[in-house]
A and B are shown apart, each in its own frame.
Chain A
Amino acid sequence: MQYLIITLLTLFSPVKEEFGDSVTLQGIDIVASIKQDDDSRNNTRSSSRFSRTTLENRHITSLKELTSLAPNFYQPDYGSRMTSSIYVRGFGSRIDQPIVGMNIDEMPIMNKNNYDFELFDVADIEIIRGAQGTLYGRNTAGGAVNIQTLSPLNFQGKRFTAEYGTAGSMRIKASHYAAPTDKFGWSASVHYNHTDGFFTNAYDGSKCDKGDNFAARLRQVFKIADRWSIDNSLTAGYTDEGGYAYRFYDAENHRLMPVNYNDPCSYRRLNIADGITIKYSLPEVIFSSTTGYSYTDDRMRMDNDFLPEAYFTLGQYQREHSLTQEFVAKSKKSEGFGWLGGIFAFYKHQKLSAPVLFKEQGIKSLILDNANSGLQTAFPGSQLQFDSDEFLINDDFTTPTLGASLYAQLSYDSEQWNVTAGIRADGEHSSMKYDSRADINYRLYPNMSTFLPLNTRFNGKEELNTTEIMPKLSVAYKHGKGNVYASVSKGYKAGGFNTQLFSDILKNRMKNELMDKFGVQMENNAEYNDASATTYRPEESLHYEVGTHLAPLADGSLKIDAALFLIECKNQQLTVFPDGTSTGRMMSNAGKSRSYGAEVSASYTLQRLTLEGSYGYAHATFRSYKSGSNDYSGNHLPLAPRETMSANLSYRIPAPKNIANHLILNIGWNGVGRIYWDESNSLSQAFYGLASASISWEKGHYGASIWGKNLFDEEYKAFYFESMQHPFFSLGKPQLIGITLHYNL
């Protein structure tokens, strides 16, 4: 009993020198984005920030692992690194345009395929929830993620890290940060990780999700004459992995079958990006110019039926160049009137090929069986035949997009009040040249003795011009313990072209041309075989929010952030079937949705102990969504969780100085659910939680940590979709345990 009392008293006693109190990475200045206030506790937005210490101590290596740590933020882990769907407050986007923008060191990431990357040497991540259209423009209807990497002027040293974990997972990192003078710093870092994979493909016994990932970053920062700063960051990343561990769901017997498909699935990506930010600071004003260039070359291959039979495969090969330029001017004010203004422009040029290969079983069951049952009436006893077991539908697209924006924001700040108003105008022009084609040889046997060619062609050009105006207004009342605010803001998800529908259109055209060869025409079919069916206009959201940032205790040890929100979405981008039909998908802007809910985050630090928690609730439903003969109005929006929850305990264990400079225990838990998998809400994933823990030790130049994720090996579904009317699920990653060693100089 005496020992227990002494131990308990020790836990909460003031830190003494002999126990060692050095924590690495303290005192690193995080420079806030020029568009945001430095004072994150007196702003009028809901945001969550994660420091490098938090990311490293909790062993967070990708943005997906911040799911639910930021309330109402959900980025599921399934598929491959190409799959970067983000859901915030019930809204999200599975394909094409995202609803959350991402900026790395002020440079916007223009391609959603690049959203999933390895986090290394990250100084700070801020996840902002709520429409950010005024300051960030397109594709920020749900929010923005701002990532800042370590600056060599703020951090110097060498770091080597080696890690090994279950499933043969391995990481190696090396970085060097130097500041030869206080005006110049440079850094170089490289990173490699490998996994043997978690999921076995029963077809051949191989792991379907093994992969390798390599990344490098070079950064140079110059400060010139105390007014100028130039910051250049060059990154390159290469990914080569499997993925798509999709399992057929036997709905009749409620059984989830093993992963079992015959054609390979893979994703390979090369990304090179450079961003240069030049700042000029005067006593009253700061000017900034950020120029960004990014090149992405990725190739995805997929067994699109995910079955052991040879139905069809899909490829998606993309090359994209993007260029961005932004000028920002901002007043340096602490009280009174302040202003911010900016000009932004971008150009993207994308070439995309999306071949679909129909194989023997697919040709038979998806084409010939249907065709032959229809042809029996006119040609009893005859069979339509192709002269090959495979045929290819080729789809090629060239999509240039050009956009420009003007924005401005005024604010008034007094001791007790802050009022901010802003407005942005975005204009965008995009076009898509498409070229779809398929060649087969057919005959009606025995009526025809020879095969005849059927060459289907579908090419042309579509254009889209859009303009969007995005206002915002916020009012905050500051009191001694924090603030209370109310805001309204608008955001939008950009319009574009759904290239995934082109294989549908070409198949319809092939079918119609083939039927025409036999003198048969379908009635009421022609209008949805047009490329205009793939075009969609911007989706717009209006966000209303009231919230508070509180620090109720005098020592600031307790921080509470809370918000209530209402989101009205109109012109929602949906894939629908034409009225009364179940074929011929097309894009539509006919949807309306609404989400309302609440969020709260809190952190409490008591000497060595830090407790953090968050909770998010979003009730997101369709107000209007009709597809074919189905009406989904009133149903929950699919794929986004209704609730998110997280809790984390971090404790700095007292240890003698000759044993450790620091010893930190982290125990965490995060959960999401209920998630509805489709618009009909017929299937869902109940709320589930994942536990994690780590213990980190550091002494002098050396450090080590043992960590575990999904400690209780919880089995949960991460994703659902249908192919050929077959349901498929992807399970989340199982338990993962590892050890990390690092050496710092």
Chain B
Amino acid sequence: MKKFFLFPLMVLATLIALPACSDDDKEKFPPETPETPVATTYTGRLTVNGGAYIKEDADCEITFAESGDKLTLNINSVKFAEAMPVTINLSVPEIPCATEDGKTIFSGNDIVPMMGVAPAEAYTFSAITGSIENSVLEFSATLTKGSFSFTGVEKQQ
């Protein structure tokens, strides 16, 4: 008789143990994937070199680092003069920022941007300041090759 109850107790114990294990495992399945930082796109007027080139529907993207104290600014399809036959994408990484009462202010000096996969020292941002408030992005920057200023609103997806 003792042996008779021993078997179902063992089965019951296994059944209790397995979900317990699986509860822990559930946290591991599916495998954890790091969250991709979400980029927010702002569309607006980009002025280059004091008006040498103006793009009314320029796109700029802001991506916050996980720590929240730095952001990356992507300026897409920009020219430095109207006659330029190519457009370039600049990515300005790790600009220090701070957020308070819903307003983010960012500012940095001597930042070398990336053009695609390579750093482009020729376009070093000697100074950049900007803010994000109420879905509006504004910034101005001085580069070794000129200057940018931008005002744009968050693009609706």
Closest to A452 in B: B117
Q: Per-position contact with A for B94-134: 1 when CB-CB < 8 Å, else 0?
A: 00000000000000000000111111111100000000000
Q: Which residues of A contact B43 (CB under 8 A)?
A: none
Residues of A within 8 A of B88 (CB): 378, 519-521
Is there a chain A Cβ closer than 8 Å to B31's Cβ?
Answer: no
Measured CA separation A342–B115 after assembly (Å): 66
B122 & A377 in contact (Cβ 8 Å cutoff): yes
Tell yes or no: A448 within 8 A of B by CB: yes
Interface-lining segment among A217-225, A300-308, A321-329, A510-518 = A510-518
Q: How many residues on the A side are at the interface (Cβ–Cβ under 8 A)?
A: 19
> How distant is the Cα of A444 from the Cα of B77 in the complex, in angstroms?
21
Asked if residues B87 and A518 are in contact (CB atoms below 8 Å), the reply is: no
A216 to chain B, nearest CB (A): 59
With a cutoff of 8 Å between Cβ atoms, the chain A residues found around residue B85 in the complex are 522-523
Q: From DSSP, what is the main secondary structure of chain B's interface residues?
A: strand
- Least CB distance from B121 to A in Å reads 8
Bound-complex Cα distance A447 to B117 (A): 9
Interface centre among A378, A380, A452, A518 (most CB of B within 10 A): A378
**B77 to A518, Cβ gap below 8 A?**
no
Q: How long is the Cα–Cα vector from A457 to B123 in the complex, in angstroms?
A: 32
Contact B118 A521 (CB under 8 A): no
Please, which residues of chain B bring their CB within 8 A of the CB of A382?
A: 118
A518 with B122: CB separation less than 8 A: no
The reply to whether the CB of A379 lies closer than 8 angstroms to some CB of chain B is yes
Known contacts A377-B122, A378-B120, A378-B123; is A518 also within 8 Å of B115 by CB?
Answer: yes
Set of chain A residues within 8 Å of B122, measured between Cβ atoms: 377-380
Judged by a CB distance under 8 angstroms, whether B90 is at the interface is yes
For the complex, is B89 an interface residue (Cβ under 8 Å from A)? yes
B117 with A521: CB separation less than 8 A? no
> Contact: B117 with A518, CB < 8 Å?
yes
Complex Cα–Cα for A81 and B119 (A): 53
User: Which residues of chain A have C-beta atoms less than 8 A from B91's C-beta?
Assistant: 519
Min CB distance A383 to B, Å, is 11
The answer to whether A518 touches B86 (Cβ under 8 A) is: no
Contact with A along B77-89 (1 / 0, CB 8 A): 1000000011111
Question: Within residues 511 to 570 of chain A, which ones have a CB less than 8 A from any CB in chain B?
Answer: 515-523
Chain B residues within 8 Å of A518, by CB: 115-118
Which A residues lie within 8 Å of B115 (CB)? 378-379, 518-520
**Complex Cα distance A523/B55, Å?**
15
Minimum distance in angstroms from A176 CB to a CB of chain B: 70
CA distance A521 to B116 in the complex (A): 11
Bound Cα distance A36, B93 (Å): 79
User: Chain B, 38-56, contact with A by CB distance < 8 Å: what is the 0/1 string?
Assistant: 0000000000000000000
Cα distance A377–B114 when bound, in Å? Answer: 14
Contact with B along A649-684 (1 / 0, CB 8 A): 000000000000000000000000000000000000
Pairwise interchain contact B90-A519, C-beta atoms closer than 8 A: yes
Tell me the residues in window 464-522 of chain A with beta carbons closer than 8 Å to chain B beta carbons. Answer: 515-522
Contact of A521 among B87, B120, B121 (CB under 8 A): B87
In the complex, residue of chain A having the shortest beta-carbon distance to the beta carbon of B114: A519
Query: Using a CB-CB cutoff of 8 Å, which residues 116-157 of chain B contact chain A?
Result: 116-123
What's the Cα separation between A722 and B116 when bound, in Å? 36
Q: Are A521 and B119 in contact (CB under 8 A)?
A: no
Known A378-B115, A518-B115; contact A523-B120, beta-carbon cutoff 8 A: no
Contact status B118-A379, CB under 8 Å: yes
Which residue of chain B has its CB nearest to the CB of A377?
A: B122
B86 touches A522 (CB 8 A): yes
Q: Are B118 and A448 neighbours in the complex by a CB distance under 8 Å?
A: yes
Q: Report the bound CA distance from A515 to B89 in whole Å.
A: 11
The reply to whether B87 and A448 form a contact with Cβ atoms under 8 Å apart is no
Instruction: Find chain A residues with CB under 8 A from B118 CB.
Output: 379, 382, 444, 447-448, 518
Contact A448 B117 (CB under 8 A): yes
Given A522-B86, A523-B86, A523-B87, residue A517 in contact with residue B120 (CB < 8 A):
no
Establish whether residues A517 and B117, one from each chain, have CB atoms under 8 Å apart when the complex forms: yes
Cα distance A521–B88 in the bound complex, in angstroms: 6
**Contact B117–A515 (Cβ < 8 Å):** no
Kindly name the residue among B115, B118, B122 whose own CB sees the greatest number of chain A CB atoms within 10 A. B118
Which of chain B's residues has its CB closest to A376's CB? B122
Q: Complex Cα distance A612/B133, Å?
A: 95
Give which listed residue, A379, A380, A521, contacts B77 with CB less than 8 A.
A521
Residue of B at shortest CB range from A448? Answer: B118
Instruction: Say how far B49's CB is from chain A's closest CB, in angstroms.
Output: 15
Residues in B neighbouring A377, C-beta threshold 8 A = 122
In the bound complex, do residue A519 and residue B119 qualify as a contact, i.e. CB atoms below 8 Å apart?
A: no
Q: Which residues of B contact A374 (CB under 8 A)?
A: 86
B contact residues around A444 at 8 Å (CB) = 117-118
Q: Which of A380, A444, A517, A519 has the most chain B CB atoms closer than 10 A to its own CB? A: A519
B86 engages A520 (CB within 8 Å): yes
Residues of B within 8 A of A379 (CB): 115, 118, 120-122
Q: Tell me, in angstroms, the Cα distance from A299 to B107 when the chains sit together.
A: 64
Task: State which residues 136-155 of A face B: CB under 8 Å.
Answer: none
A374 CA / B115 CA spacing, docked (Å): 14
Contact of A516 with B120 at beta-carbon distance under 8 Å, contacts A523-B85, A523-B87 already known: no
How far, in whole Å, are A517 and B115 apart by their CA atoms in the complex? 8
Which residues on the B side are within 8 Å of A521 (C-beta)? 77, 86-89
Give the distance in Å from the alpha carbon of A520 to the alpha carbon of B116 in the complex: 8
How far apart are the CA atoms of A523 and B115 in the complex, in Å? 17
Shortest beta-carbon distance from B94 to chain A in Å: 17
Q: Which residues of A contact B114 (CB under 8 A)?
A: 519
* A517–B120 CA distance with the chains assembled, in angstroms: 13
Shortest beta-carbon distance from A339 to chain B in Å: 64
Whose C-beta in chain A lies nearest to the C-beta of B120?
A: A378
Tell me, in angstroms, the Cα distance from A499 to B146 when the chains sit together.
45
- CB-based nearest A residue for B117: A517
B101 to chain A, nearest CB (A): 35
A80 to chain B, nearest CB (A): 41
CB distance from A25 to the nearest CB of B (A): 69
Could you tell me the distance between the alpha carbons of A356 and B29 in the complex, rounded to whole angstroms? 48
CB distance from B11 to the nearest CB of A (A): 54
CA distance A518 to B118 in the complex (A): 6
- What is the 8 Å Cβ interface bit string for chain B, positions 47-76, against chain A (1 contact, 0 not)? 000000000000000000000000000000
B48 CB to closest chain A CB (Å) equals: 15
The verdict on A520 contacting B123 (CB below 8 Å), with A444-B118, A447-B118 known, is no
Knowing A378-B115, A520-B115, say if A515 contacts B120 (CB, 8 Å): no
Cβ distance A521 to chain B, nearest Cβ, rounded Å: 5
Cα-based distance from A521 to B85 in the complex (angstroms): 9
Task: Select B87's contact among A447, A452, A520, beta carbons within 8 Å.
Answer: A520
- In the complex, A448→B88 CA distance in Å? 19
Contact with B along A98-135 (1 / 0, CB 8 A): 00000000000000000000000000000000000000
B125 to chain A, nearest CB (A): 14
| Distance in angstroms between the alpha carbons of A572 and B94 in the assembled complex | 58
Least CB distance, B89 to chain A, in whole angstroms:
4
Q: Write the chain B residue with the least CB distance to A517.
A: B116
The 9 closest A-B pairs by CB, nearest first: A519-B115, A519-B89, A519-B116, A518-B116, A447-B118, A444-B118, A517-B116, A521-B87, A378-B120
Sample (9) of A-B pairs whose CB atoms are under 8 Å apart:
A378-B123, A516-B116, A517-B116, A518-B116, A518-B117, A520-B116, A521-B87, A522-B86, A523-B87
Other 10 A-B pairs with CB < 8 A, given A447-B118, A521-B88:
A378-B115, A380-B121, A382-B118, A452-B117, A517-B117, A519-B88, A521-B77, A521-B86, A522-B86, A523-B86
Residues of A within 8 A of B (CB): 374, 377-380, 382, 444, 447-448, 452, 515-523
